[in-house]
Amino acid sequence: MDQPFIELIDIHKNFSGNHVLDGVNLSIEKGRVTCVIGKSGTGKSVLLKHIIGLMQPDSGQVCVDGMPTDQMDNIQKHRFHRQISYMFQDNALFDFLTVWENIALPLTEKKKIPMDQIRQRVKEKMEALEISKHENKYPAQLSGGIRKRVALARALITEPVAVLFDEPTSGLDPVRRNSVHAMITTYQKEFGFTAVIVSHDIPQIFTISQRVAMLDQGKIIYFGKSDGIFQTDNDIVKAFISGKEP
């Protein structure tokens, strides 16, 4: 196996008796796209939030480049968060900012980049995602699909080392869904970034990812190469990916 970038080791998370993560072990390899699949409500978003530190485990460890995040000092944590970007399921755009301002925000807020470079990078992302004509609109004036693309542009604007996507294509029509997938593939080829994608786009997601992890009842019950998932002997995985009850 390639060098792990992020490792989840025996993660447990319980919400008032709802044991959502029940000993999750998962290795996210550097430079690869890993998709996380599983039934609705099974804890995929909770798992992503543990990676980025928005949620803390009851027990277990999240390691980045071999270092447990709970042992990192503030500088190390800051460095990790600068390298990683997260696209929320609900897009989390700021209603009081325009499309342009929302996309530019990670650059204007975090990095000392000259304004002409910021303009150029925002322009390129808006063109790639076909949202240029919406640049002066506010999120409330946009359809769900356009909001999704604005959120995607914002997640990619810093050209991060790793991106966590929580259902990046939900609510998109099939053409737009394919273009989001194509964009993720292009970015991976261009920058070799590490991506974790929570997705219900089965089987399309297997063509843009190299690894698949399936979460079920608090555990990773399958982890392997995407092109091998259809040969699995695991009945729960087989039933899930073919859309049947196990």
Ligand X SMILES: Nc1ncnc2c1ncn2[C@@H]1O[C@H](COP(=O)(O)OP(=O)(O)OP(=O)(O)O)[C@@H](O)[C@H]1O
List interacting residues with ligand X (CB under 6 A). Answer: 15, 18, 20, 38, 40-46
Burial 79-89 (b: 16+ CB within 10 A, else e): ebeebbbbbbb
**CA–CA distance, 172 with 179 (Å, rounded to integer):** 10
Nearer to ligand X by Cβ, of 20 and 62: the residue is 20
Please name the helix (run of DSSP H) or strand (run of DSSP E) that holds residue 20, with its range, or none: strand 18-29
Task: Indicate the residue type of 95.
Answer: D
Nearer to ligand X by Cβ, of 137 and 219: the residue is 219
Nearer to ligand X by Cβ, of 50 and 181: the residue is 50
Least distance (Å) from ligand X to the CB of residue 25? 17
- Among 204, 227, 229, 203, which Cα is nearest to 214's? 229
**CA–CA distance, 44 with 195 (Å, rounded to integer):** 14
β-pair partners for 15 = 18
Query: How many other CB atoms are there within 10 angstroms of residue 182's CB atom?
Result: 11
Rounded to whole angstroms, what are the CA distances from 13 to 61, 71, 154? 11, 19, 29
Least distance (Å) from ligand X to the CB of residue 167? 6
Nearer to ligand X by Cβ, of 43 and 57: the residue is 43
Least distance (Å) from ligand X to the CB of residue 46? 4
Two tokens, residue 52: 């980025």
Least distance (Å) from ligand X to the CB of residue 83? 23
Least distance (Å) from ligand X to the CB of residue 14? 9
Query: How many other CB atoms are there within 10 angstroms of residue 216's CB atom?
Result: 18
Nearer to ligand X by Cβ, of 7 and 216: the residue is 216
Least distance (Å) from ligand X to the CB of residue 41? 5
Query: For residue 192, is it left (φ>0), alpha (ψ between -120 and 50) or beta?
Result: left
